Amino acid sequence: MTIKILAIETSCDETAAAIVTDDKKILSNIVWSQTEHEAYGGVVPEIAARAHMEHIELVLKRALNEADISLSEIDAVAATTGPGLIGGVIVGTMTAKAIASVQQKPFIAVNHLEGHALTVRLTHDVPFPYLLLLVSGGHCQFLIVSGVGKYQKLGGTLDDALGEAFDKTAKMLGLGYPGGAAVENLAKNGNPLAYNFPLPLSGRAGCDFSFSGLKTAVRLKTEEIKNVQNAELSDEQKADICASFQYTATKSVLERTQYAVNRFKTQYPQGRHFVLAGGVAANQYIRNQLISTLIQHDMELVAPPIKLCTDNAAMIAWAGIERFNLGLTDSLDAEPRARWPLTELSLQ
Ligand code: KG4
Ligand code: ZN
């Protein structure tokens, strides 16, 4: 008999609910992206929490309608219980617990990062172990995934996440929030060598990242151009900034990838899969560049479809299924957590 899991994701600015089966069918995957934050150029936690409260019921109803099932037909309820903006995490966690309690079904507390880390197994046949690059608006790290709940962090960002750097570049150029996709689009018309931005952590070995210096270089160049011409940037100049920023950020990702692959191969010489996850995995330029680098190491890039790379609840449902299959359910006392590193999961 197939298992159906209902999942709720509310850790940032997406109010999402999905129903997924253990035979890898996404029966519904509803994502309500909050637009309330656009005017602020970033997510405002209090506004996000209130917006989750407002939208969660409708999003849940739509998820059930689209899957054409009732709550009583669900086998377990999962929710992102962290890490994330705590107000939103509380809304999703409490809603899922209430449903689990009323329906007398198991509750599964899912780490948002584990959702990103395992989604690829919903859409592709990727065995453990694999090397994961998780790049989103809030996270930027290399992990060796050797099983459900088994994560070894090889390195992470010392300051800004990659998606954050994309978003800040977009903000400086007036491209709206979140701006990753807008930067990538504009970069297609720009010259990646127009501006020579400094390569982050140049000459430094290891799997860590740093993007705040690059962000500052983009800001200074933007201001300089404005001052010199005493006018806003032209579309061509904006495109050149986007292309040069993306070129340098990607170059850094590729350099860090070489170190991460070497460490992964030392531990797992037969390991072949490199998984790209998180919102930035939607970036086609980064994907293409990574594919070329990985071929040299006899590794294959695998990434979930774009719709499952950005925050959604199907990824939380899938992580819930992987846990459920191992008998890993949680009590209704499981606490919402603002901070929750993957390496703190219980199965290490
Ligand atoms: O995983 P996600 O939806 O939310 C977080 O957990 O952060 O990732 C959102 C991030 C944002 O920073 C967004 O600008 C970035 O992913 N992003 C992109 C692209 N699409 C989304 N960054 C670069 N290129 C893209 N095409
Ligand atoms: Zn995310």
**Per residue, what are the HEC states of 74-137?**
CCEEEEEEECCCHHHHHHHHHHHHHHHHHHCCCEEEEEHHHHHHHCHHHHCCCCCCEEEEEECC
Element (H, E) at 175: none
Is 169 close to ligand 1, i.e. is its CB under 6 Å away?
no
Tell me, in angstroms, the distance from the centre of ligand 2 to residue 329's CA: 22
Nearest CA to ligand 1 atom 3: 310
Confidence of residue 182 (pLDDT cuts 50, 70, 90): very high
Least reliable range by pLDDT among 46-55, 88-97, 183-192 = 46-55
Is 163 close to ligand 1, i.e. is its CB under 6 Å away?
yes
> Is 90 found in the same domain as 58?
yes
Tell me, in angstroms, the distance from the centre of ligand 2 to residue 278's CA: 6
Structure tokens at 108: 């599964």
Prior bond to 127 cis, omega within 30?
A: no
Please measure the distance between the N-terminal and C-terminal CA atoms of the chain and give it in whole angstroms: 30
Flag whether pLDDT at 343 surpasses 90: no
- Report, as an integer, the average pLDDT of 217-238: 97
Look at strands 150-156 and 140-147 and give their pairing: antiparallel
Look at strands 273-277 and 130-135 and give their pairing: parallel
- Report, as an integer, the average pLDDT of 169-196: 95
Ligand nearest to the CA of 278: 1
Q: Collect all residues with Cβ–Cβ distance below 8 Å to 292 and sequence separation of at least 6.
A: none
- Report, as an integer, the average pLDDT of 293-318: 95
> Is 334 found in the same domain as 280?
no
> Is 28 found in the same domain as 173?
no
Sheet architecture: strand order including 150-156 = 150-156, 140-147, 130-135, 273-277, 300-302
Is 92 close to ligand 1, i.e. is its CB under 6 Å away?
no
The closest-lying atom of ligand 1 relative to the alpha carbon of residue 112 is 6
Is 281 close to ligand 1, i.e. is its CB under 6 Å away?
no
The closest-lying atom of ligand 1 relative to the alpha carbon of residue 282 is 26
Number of domains in the chain: 2
Is 88 close to ligand 1, i.e. is its CB under 6 Å away?
no
> Is 145 found in the same domain as 269?
yes
Question: Are 195 and 241 a contacting pair, CB within 8 Å?
Answer: yes
Confidence of residue 177 (pLDDT cuts 50, 70, 90): confident
> Is 145 found in the same domain as 251?
yes
Confidence of residue 346 (pLDDT cuts 50, 70, 90): low
Where are the extended beta strands (E) located within 199-291?
273-277
Residue 63's closest CA among 89, 86, 92, 105?
92
Query: What pLDDT is stored for residue 347 in this prediction?
Result: 67
Q: Collect all residues with Cβ–Cβ distance below 8 Å to 262 and sequence separation of at least 6.
A: none
Residue-range definition of the domain harbouring residue 259 = 127-303
Question: Are 175 and 233 a contacting pair, CB within 8 Å?
Answer: no
Flag whether pLDDT at 253 surpasses 90: yes
Tell me, in angstroms, the distance from the centre of ligand 2 to residue 38's CA: 18
Ligand nearest to the CA of 33: 1
> Is 164 found in the same domain as 234?
yes
> Is 296 found in the same domain as 327?
no
Is 11 close to ligand 1, i.e. is its CB under 6 Å away?
no
Confidence of residue 255 (pLDDT cuts 50, 70, 90): very high
Question: Are 242 and 183 a contacting pair, CB within 8 Å?
Answer: yes
Task: Go through 217-244 and write b for each residue having 16 or more CB atoms within 10 A of its CB, e for each that does not.
Answer: bbeebbeebeeeeeeebeeebbbbbbbb
Q: Collect all residues with Cβ–Cβ distance below 8 Å to 197 and sequence separation of at least 6.
A: 214, 217, 218, 221, 244, 245, 248
Query: What pLDDT is stored for residue 330 in this prediction?
Result: 97
Separation CA 159–CA 128 (nearest Å): 29
Ligand 1: which of 10, 136, 172, 290 to mutate, most ligand atoms within 8 Å of CB? 136
Does the CA dihedral 39-41-46-51 come out positive or negative? positive
Flag whether pLDDT at 348 surpasses 60: no
Q: Quote the radius of gyration of the chain (alpha carbons, Å).
A: 20
Is 184 close to ligand 1, i.e. is its CB under 6 Å away?
yes
Tell me, in angstroms, the distance from the centre of ligand 1 to residue 75's CA: 31
> Is 143 found in the same domain as 88?
no
Q: Over pLDDT 90: what percentage of the chain?
A: 88
CATH number of domain containing 68: 3.30.420.40
Flag whether pLDDT at 48 surpasses 90: no
Query: What pLDDT is stored for residue 172 in this prediction?
Result: 94
> Is 144 found in the same domain as 38?
no
Is 53 close to ligand 1, i.e. is its CB under 6 Å away?
no
Residues recorded for the chain: 348
> Is 258 found in the same domain as 161?
yes
Tell me, in angstroms, the distance from the centre of ligand 2 to residue 225's CA: 34
Q: Over pLDDT 70: what percentage of the chain?
A: 99
The closest-lying atom of ligand 1 relative to the alpha carbon of residue 164 is 12
Flag whether pLDDT at 92 surpasses 90: yes
Tell me, in angstroms, the distance from the centre of ligand 2 to residue 279's CA: 7
Separation CA 164–CA 175 (nearest Å): 14
> Is 327 found in the same domain as 289?
no
Nearest CA to ligand 1 atom 14: 180
> Is 267 found in the same domain as 160?
yes
Query: What pLDDT is stored for residue 35 in this prediction?
Result: 83
